[in-house]
Amino acid sequence: MKYNNIDFNNKTILITGGAGFIGSNLAFYFQENYNDAKVVVLDMFRSDKTLSNGNLLSFGHYKNLLGFNGVVISGDINDAKLLASLEKDYKFDYIFHEAAISDTTASEQDLMIKTNVNAYEDLLKIAIKHDAKMIYASSAATYGDSDRFEVGYEQPNNVYGFSKVMMDNISYKYMQQNPSTSIVGLKYFNVYGEREYFKNKTSSMVVQFGHQILAGKTPKLFEGSDKILRDFIYIEDIIQANILACGDVKSGVYNVGTGKASSFESIVDTLQKELQIDNGKEYIPNPFVGQYQFFTEANIETTKKELGYEPRYSLEDGIKAYIPEIKRLYDAEVKNAK
């Protein structure tokens, strides 16, 4: 499905983090809808490098790009020589910046700021030189402990959320200094859907619960999960927002969610209903109290007005659409990993 009337054919598009969850979905959106678009994927593909919490440094996976026929570059956005070569060798029309260290439990503050903040500014300078539209991933993690989920009420409670606030601040500065350059930040809420599996432990609880249920296990929920509410958004609506941001829209930072909070308990209920498997539920203590958001719900009125965005998937609809892929992944990946 095309989300606006822009013709991306014969345009050159850079997608950083393009072997990751959202980036790979964007790559295939252009491939499936615009045969003559030149799509360049940049990703620091996974290796055995880990963060101090044991999670992988990079989640980029070649399997997310199986069938992709564009340009694939393996590299680190912190590499100044790589960015210089991109600036020299290409003339980008659009830059979708999805690359980041997105692990909210990571403690490496230096690496987080270097990757998420400083490298972003370097990419933004390329966008300005190329007169390219910049669409970048911000995050609902910027709101942290805030009780008001509107741009301007950020209150991050971890370094990841802080890094995204700094990205937004840099963007505002460049918007003022370069009014002719289109810069749009999208604050993603809790995204789930196809091509997230290789995020491992940081993938959504939708796919994690789905695989627990298919394995015959009892889903483990944090105590009080019926009162832990998040704005869960299906990947198709994230792609919609990114494509709408390419239009003649006002530079700014916008929330991208459904505008409706749902409980983790409801995820399990919906999965068990759709999978027709009921293994009950098990409740465990929440070890992340103090660095955990217990409620998020996007205010998307400005996003609707300025981008023409309208979420198409409720949580129930998104899970229903996702079920065939959850089953396929279980058979192809989970069983083989045992």
Q: Which of 105, 333, 291, 108 is nearest to 198 (CA)?
A: 333
Is 3 assigned a catalytic role? Answer: no
Selected catalytic residue, list 136, 199, 234, 309: 199
In one-letter notation, the amino acid at residue 16 is T
Is 160 assigned a catalytic role? Answer: yes
Cα-only R_g, the chain: 19
DSSP for residue 104:
T
Measured between alpha carbons, how far is 72 from 74 in angstroms, rounded to an integer?
7
- φ, ψ (nearest 5 deg) of residue 141: -65, -20
Strand partners, 183: 134
State CA 186 to chain mean position distance. 9
Handedness of CA 169, 175, 177, 178 (dihedral sign): positive
DSSP for residue 49:
-
Selected catalytic residue, list 94, 160, 192, 197: 160
* Strand spans (E) along the chain: 12-16, 38-43, 71-74, 94-97, 133-139, 183-188, 190-192, 220-222, 229-230, 232-234, 252-256, 262-263, 282-284
Q: Is residue 303 within 8 Å of residue 238, measured between CB atoms?
A: no
DSSP for residue 48:
S
Residues 6+ apart with CB under 8 A from 20: 43, 59, 60, 61, 64, 98, 99, 199
Could you list the active site residues?
Answer: 160, 199
